[in-house]
């Protein structure tokens, strides 16, 4: 079992930045891929970004060039640096981890971007 705890959400004005963090614990040896997804009211869940243990990253088109995912394997932590935030980025952001794809997910952290 893997436990994931997110932090760093909050309220920010459009154009601002936030950095989300997520610490993994438990059976972390099974984690190869970590990532972030988000869920906004009335919208489909969206996979935002993934990072492999090798450092290879993937991003949703909606955040490319604005968000950066990174991980510190020594600290079992994954980060999501979010710049140039837009009101449409408002959502609950969830951290995930898994072997080939995130299958364990945290409880989420709210990000609200005001216009």
For residue 1, is pLDDT > 90? no
Q: How confident is the model at residue 18 (pLDDT cuts 50, 70, 90)?
A: very high
Give the pLDDT of residue 30.
Answer: 82
Give the pLDDT of residue 56.
Answer: 96
pLDDT digits (tens, 9 = 90+) for 83-114: 999 999 999 999 999 999 999 999 999 999 99
Cβ proximity of 25 and 3 under 8 Å: yes
Average pLDDT, the chain: 96
Residue range 17-30: average pLDDT?
92
pLDDT digits (tens, 9 = 90+) for 39-51: 999 999 999 999 9
Q: Which residues lie closer than 8 Å to 82 by C-beta, 6 or more apart?
A: 17, 18, 19, 20, 63, 66, 67, 89, 111
């Amino acid at each position: 079992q893997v436990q994931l705890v997110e932090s760093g959400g909050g309220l920010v004005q459009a154009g601002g930045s936030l950095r989300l963090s997520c610490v993994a614990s438990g059976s972390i040896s099974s984690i190869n891929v970590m990532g972030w997804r988000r869920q906004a009211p009335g919208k489909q869940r969206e996979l935002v970004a993934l990072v492999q243990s090798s450092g290879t990253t993937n991003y949703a088109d909606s955040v490319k060039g604005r968000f950066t995912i990174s991980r510190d394997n020594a600290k079992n932590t994954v980060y999501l640096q979010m710049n140039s935030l837009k009101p449409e980025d408002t959502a609950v952001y969830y951290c995930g981890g898994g072997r080939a794809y995130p299958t364990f997910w945290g409880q989420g952290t709210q990000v609200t971007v005001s216009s």
